[in-house]
A and B are shown apart, each in its own frame.
Chain A
């Protein structure tokens, strides 16, 4: 698809292609899904503890909200899953954690992959992904999302609501009923399946996370966490239909809330108002400063993209922000699409300055076949 007649749409097409190359690919997603199904079967068939109880196993985190980003310089994705036991289970969350550990240790391969974390148990699928299993018991009969989960550092259980958080984020992403890319595709009678699942907010979060990974690559200690960035993005999102404008609005809102007032920006868990994800910014303000500088840099670069400097300047900015490989790959994909249109005689130039498009009308000139020649 090419959207050359409108600058924002064309830039959005490129941003979309970049985000797409960063996300969990289909083959790995399928592999993850089968590991997850196998895990479910293994827990289900446990006669000692799990068999009699009602529970559910579901993904949460970025896989659930479709904001996965391939780790920078590594190639291992995270898959967060919740083991949700129904309300009224007589056991403590700590007991559930221990039973899960026992059950996994009974499996020859799982016992090799297993790693104990504070709230979850991790299974490492080396070089591919790791699965963090969060065991929890539903806290209230009337709320099907909130869980009590063990916190081994604290020594007691805490409240967690991973499914509620995902619902909150998805509702935010759905503030846009469509995107400018989807509209452009529809106008050309092309299939739009891809955009149904990747709303501008999801694409924006993927790009911001990727930029974060590169920005803090030399200084990983100060890296702002994904949950903070995702929540901020959701909070400030106004239903923009363009990926470019979504990012722009988010960075401008951050600027307004960090510099226009003397108060520190607080980022509360949208499904648990008592939880401030940025507690640490209070006690260790250098982390807050690192976040502010990170957001400021993105805002400044985004402003530069709005100026008509041409694609060379634009490519320099996007390469620095998101990485050479990601940018170049997206650009080549866009170029190959144009080459397809050309081969199928569907490419025209416009009357004013010859802008390429696949529309044909009395104001355009179709491009005839040619062979570039010479050295």
Chain B
């Protein structure tokens, strides 16, 4: 709910790219078109975790799409569906109507850290059957 009025300007793709490179120097960050970017890299939520390779695509003013490539995300021991994931297997990291991410925000400071957090809760969910990271679900009343 923090940004009801968005006075900030949209960040150009070049700005997103340079910020991603400076925060996460090990990622491969490239233009995938005039107004889009692609990130390929590895995330590891804790020292005890495996590394997860991911791919992120962003078209200016669009919704960043981040998918985990390897290891493949799977159901847990209860056979429960993976929580907080879209039907195309990309991660649901924020609620668009709350304006937690807008085109004026840096992907490096929002989407990437949230993806790490998501992976952490995903692992705990596998181990305990509980999603401890909170959030909201798309539900029809």
Contacts and interface: CB of A to CB of B under 8 A. Distances in A.
Interface string B95-115: 110101100000011101111
A55 B137 CA distance: 66
B11 interface: no
A338 B133 CA distance: 9
Contacts of A312: 123, 126-127
A278 B48 CA distance: 39
A356 B98 CA distance: 24
Interface string B44-86: 1111111100000000000000000000000000000101111
Given A311-B123, A375-B83, A349 B116 contact: yes
Contacts of A336: 132
B45 A374 contact: no
Interface string B116-141: 11101101101111111111111000
A10 interface: yes
B93 A372 contact: yes
A335 interface: yes
- The range of chain B's interface size is 35 or more
B95 to A, nearest CB: 4
Contacts of B118: 372
A315 interface: yes
Contacts of A315: 126-127
B92 interface: yes
Contacts of A155: none
B31 to A, nearest CB: 22
Contact of A372 (B46, B116, B133): B133
B40 interface: no
Nearest to A328: B128
A353 B54 CA distance: 11
Interface of B (DSSP majority class): loop
Contacts of A6: 47
Interface stretch (A210-218, A229-237, A292-300, A363-371): A363-371
Contact of B93 (A348, A355, A356, A370): A370
Nearest to B76: A312
A10 B135 contact: no
A315 B113 CA distance: 24
A356 B116 contact: yes
Nearest to B41: A353
Nearest to B132: A335
A309 interface: yes
Contact of A349 (B92, B112, B127): B112
A23 interface: no
Contacts of B108: 365
Contacts of A328: 127-129
A105 interface: no
A187 to B, nearest CB: 16
Given A10-B47, A355-B44, A371 B23 contact: no
Given A351-B23, A367-B117, A370-B114, A4 B43 contact: no
A308 interface: yes
Given A311-B49, A354-B116, A373-B94, A331 B128 contact: yes
Contacts of B92: 372-375
B128 to A, nearest CB: 5
B23 to A, nearest CB: 5
Interface of B: 2, 23-26, 41-51, 81, 83-87, 92-96, 98, 100-101, 108-110, 112-118, 120-121, 123-124, 126-138
Closest 5 CB pairs of A and B: A372-B135, A374-B92, A310-B50, A353-B44, A354-B116
25 contacts: A4-B48, A310-B49, A311-B126, A311-B127, A335-B120, A335-B124, A349-B113, A352-B24, A354-B45, A354-B113, A355-B45, A356-B116, A365-B112, A368-B110, A369-B100, A370-B94, A370-B117, A372-B83, A373-B84, A373-B94, A373-B135, A374-B84, A374-B138, A375-B87, A375-B92
Given A4-B48, A348-B113, A374-B138, 14 more contacts: A311-B123, A312-B123, A351-B25, A353-B43, A353-B51, A354-B115, A355-B45, A366-B113, A367-B113, A368-B113, A370-B93, A371-B136, A372-B136, A374-B85
